[in-house]
Chain A
């Protein structure tokens, strides 16, 4: 199995451990990842200018197409962005023509041949749960985990095709495989607040804190994410605004690839466990 690995803009500087842990985990399943000359997925700019968002996304998909590869991304915002652009290019012929004219200047063309997949889908469907179960050497029994789904992979379902948008189960299925126990929590499908970070921090934090309080009250030991932005929100940002307020407890957040990697017995260094700002050591799984 081989994919074009679309890391997105934030991993190299802000979340290296997501890149390294994804590589480490996928490598053990024989998945090969190729990094192309990708640019931004377009998501951050969709707020301001539709066409430049589509061009950015189309360029990435065209690069993968040229290499005959499907795209794998660990980031849900990148995933959503690429899927949306796919949809717009697919349904709007004039847009497709104009974007392709622009891409042609670089010798690229978007035909819609490459599929965009999120890491979790590849793990669950392409690699398959049985293989994942078989790879576990250190089951994380006793750990209660709140699966945070992430909006942009889940909705709008008719465009992103990720899982049932109202009752998804893919993340819990994958967490169960590690031996940890996924907890039910009312806010599991809600936004982490990161899209508003830097734009309206008060709302961004309010959304984050509501989720954390809910996960905490539902008995979770930690939150588990599979998205660059969500993890940044629950780790770096949560820790940067730490208060001593007992009403807003601190909950560590772990990347799914770290959780899986630990249960597979992969070395901590590859998983970048120490790079998490809110230490996950106290979960006693390390």
Chain B
């Protein structure tokens, strides 16, 4: 019988409580431990202090607070460098120990999903080489890109289920002088932002209570091996992944819903590079225009390389076709850093974005003209040979 409460509760008020004993999958933690006992690999444990949260099926996931090894994203560092700079800036500002390695390659998954010019053993070996490199430093891997995050979870699944692949990759790593190391958790940086959100809010100096935002969750975060994604009862009643929304709510931002929340951004891997008409059309028609029409946000916040790229860069050409665009796009790390007083150009590096974020900065009371002049001053000094770079100390306001 349908309970009476169902007639009175609005869907948005309903909370789903996952029961781990009813989960449709085996708990990967148990399998990782079992394979460690059998001598198949070593499990890299999440260092203390960590914060425990719940994943999609209500199982516990540990997220490290510090001693993190930052598996950077090629698309973020290369084309939206304020994204990763903001992640590091947050760590520094909160006084947390981290490692920014140069013994790290891309996950190579962007190329793989675009061109298929690779195979399962190569993909797994690249992943496990990076994990072994992290383990050698004593720091725990934290993955900046949602595609790397999704792909590494896929690799973990494949290695769990294929003794043949495990043995192949183990042999490859041995030739590189490395051991097969599997992290206890695959952690995405936005999960770290999520668990640190109250501490970030304690350091907030730019009020955001008058700001409305929409968010876009990355497909490779919550759809590809979706189990690891974090869910929380206070965010859409445990029915949608909690990251980004939780962070924004802690900063006082009004997060508004829209009907194509579940849709992809249109990135497409190969499409964004060689078939961009698809990416542009999808991003504008299925995401930006719907958000503007249904939610009228000041800003769109997302948490992945491809999503920031597609949703931001696709709006310029659409403007020429009189589309309803003009929505600034940032990552959760950038808006969190901005809330804590980070410089919009020296740290957030907003000049690498396509959309105009100046009206948004004005709404926050930030003098962007002054900030841009400060940035240009630094660039002029570099050009004149008066300085080589910008130090962290200069931007640690």
Q: Do A and B come from one complex?
A: no
Q: Which residues of A contact B (CB under 8 A)?
A: none
Measuring CB to CB, which residues of chain B are less than 8 angstroms from any residue of chain A? none
